[in-house]
Amino acid sequence: MPARTSKRTKKAQHPGGEVHDHLVELDFWVKCAYLFTPAFLALFGGLDAAGIAVFIYPLISVTYFIIRYRFLKSVPPERLVHVVPWSHIYEGRRISGFILIASVLACGYALYNHVW
């Protein structure tokens, strides 16, 4: 019986594959930013400085959404048809959205307490 050689053929990537890969990469970097921001602040400024991360997180979220929006706007529509940008697999988008909503609610509550 002849020996089989297992040559793996690389599947052709679907038309939105590059867009999906780029969104996953953006997602990875924003999650790393959320994870390492307090660590670096605590390392270089002490534990008191790590509390500043609460104020930095909304800035990271806004920056992430701006970069993501500009990237998706630059993608041609025929490649974007095959990608669902609001899919559940993009955890960084979900985390960023939650942080922005919480920040807006907290600012609204602080403004309400300040006015009344």
- H-only helix segments in the chain: 17-45, 47-50, 53-74, 77-80, 91-115
Whether residue 11 is contained in a domain is answered as no
Whether residue 1 is contained in a domain is answered as no
Amino acid at 77: P
pLDDT cut 90: percent of the chain above it: 41
Burial of 96 (0-12, 13-18, 19+ CB in 10 A): buried
Amino acid at 33: A
Q: Specify the 3-state DSSP secondary structure of 89.
A: coil
Whether residue 4 is contained in a domain is answered as no
**pLDDT score of 5:** 65
Domain containing residue 89? 17-115
Whether residue 103 is contained in a domain is answered as yes
Whether residue 6 is contained in a domain is answered as no
Whether residue 7 is contained in a domain is answered as no
First to last CA, the chain: 87
pLDDT tens digits, one per residue of 9-40: 777 667 678 888 899 999 999 999 999 998 99
**Residues near 93 by Cβ (< 8 Å), separated by ≥ 6?**
27, 64, 68, 85, 86
Whether residue 3 is contained in a domain is answered as no
Identify the sign of the CA torsion 39, 102, 71, 27: positive
Q: What is the CA radius of gyration of the chain?
A: 21
- Does 3 have pLDDT greater than 80? no
Whether residue 2 is contained in a domain is answered as no
- Does 62 have pLDDT greater than 90? yes
Domains contained in the chain, number: 1
Amino acid at 14: H
